[in-house]
């Protein structure tokens, strides 16, 4: 993993240094706060690890500099990883970085998640992206086997109102774990109780996830 991380950092601080994909430039900090932070939930949460290992498709929303999508894709080359990013340039660059790192199982798109119809069973990840109450309702799940996981900080309950989503979502994971150099992390897991109500026209206007794989 460290060899992968070094190649990744070399690209971010070298060829792509002008894109502002990360403010971290030292290997130790990059490895801890970007790479380990992306994959540590696999060790901390059996629910998360089982979900990743059982699914065939993982969707990462708002991946920024490629986290957690690229570290997870490196660990699971047999899975398909699809990333959605609101900033076109970052989506393009992270796709290039994935290819330079030899990750053939990654596709990055300039799309907002609310424009996507999740017409496959998927696991969706969010890291450093908005709030649960803002983003959970944007997920257009059509399969009740789909799950969403949010990487959060230790003050999650003070800053966010998770109760606001409990009508339509079942909380399946609330896991606190340590990360060196931080005050800790939380992983919040949700499972949809219902398929969102949409008109036929609204569903038709969405982009099928299956068309992007």
Residue 197 has pLDDT above 80, yes or no: no
Q: What is the pLDDT of residues 71-130, one digit of tens each?
A: 999 999 999 999 999 999 999 999 999 999 999 999 999 999 999 999 999 999 999 888
- Inter-residue contact 75 to 64 (CB < 8 Å): no
SS3 content of the chain, % helix, strand, coil (to 5): 40, 25, 35
Q: What is the pLDDT of residues 9-34, one digit of tens each?
A: 999 999 998 887 888 889 999 999 99
Predicted pLDDT of residue 203 = 87
Predicted pLDDT of residue 54 = 96
Query: Which letter does DSSP use for residue 55 in this model?
Result: -
- List the structure tokens of 41: 């939930």
Q: What value does the mean pLDDT of the chain take?
A: 93
pTM (2 decimals)? Answer: 0.94
Query: Which letter does DSSP use for residue 198 in this model?
Result: -
Mean pLDDT of 35-39: 96
Helices then strands, counting H and E runs in the chain, come out as 9, 10
Predicted pLDDT of residue 25 = 84
Predicted pLDDT of residue 210 = 96
Q: What is the pLDDT of residues 116-146, one digit of tens each?
A: 999 999 999 999 888 999 999 999 998 777 9
pLDDT band at 181 (very low <50, low <70, confident <90, very high): confident
| Binding residue numbers for S-adenosyl-L-methionine | 62, 67, 113-114, 127
142 to 12, 42, 197: CA distances (angstroms): 36, 26, 10
Domains of the chain with bracketed CATH: 2-212 (3.40.50.150)
Tokens 């490895």 label which residue? 31
Mean pLDDT of 54-80: 97
Query: Which letter does DSSP use for residue 6 in this model?
Result: H
Mean pLDDT of 183-212: 90
- Inter-residue contact 79 to 56 (CB < 8 Å): yes
Nearest Cα to 57, choosing from 65, 66, 67, 69? Answer: 69
Residue 175 has pLDDT above 90, yes or no: yes
- List the structure tokens of 109: 């798109």
Nearest Cα to 16, choosing from 75, 82, 96, 73? Answer: 96
**C-alpha 196: how far from chain center:** 21
| Binding residue numbers | 62, 67, 113-114, 127
- Inter-residue contact 7 to 115 (CB < 8 Å): no
Give alpha helix (H) positions in the chain.
2-13, 27-30, 37-44, 46-54, 69-75, 88-100, 132-135, 156-159, 200-204
């Amino acid at each position: 993993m460290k060899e992968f991380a070094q190649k990744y950092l070399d690209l971010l601080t070298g060829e792509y240094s002008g894109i502002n994909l990360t403010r971290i430039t030292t290997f130790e900090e990059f490895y801890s706060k970007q790479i380990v932070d992306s994959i540590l939930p696999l060790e901390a949460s059996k629910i998360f690890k089982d979900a990743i290992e059982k699914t065939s498709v993982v969707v990462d929303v708002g991946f920024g500099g490629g986290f957690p999508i690229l570290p997870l894709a490196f660990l699971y080359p047999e899975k398909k990883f699809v990333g959605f990013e609101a900033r076109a340039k970052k989506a393009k660059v992270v796709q290039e970085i994935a290819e330079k790192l030899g990750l053939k199982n990654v596709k990055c798109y300039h799309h907002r998640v609310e424009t996507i119809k999740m017409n496959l069973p998927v696991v969706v990840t969010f890291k450093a992206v908005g709030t649960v109450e803002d983003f959970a309702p944007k997920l257009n799940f059509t399969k009740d086997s789909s799950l969403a996981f949010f990487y959060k900080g230790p003050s999650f309950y003070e800053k966010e109102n998770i109760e606001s989503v409990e009508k339509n979502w079942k909380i399946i994971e609330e896991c606190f774990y340590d990360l060196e150099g931080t005050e800790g992390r939380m992983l919040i897991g949700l499972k949809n109780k219902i398929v969102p109500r949409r008109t036929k026209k609204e569903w038709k206007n969405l982009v099928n996830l299956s068309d992007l794989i």
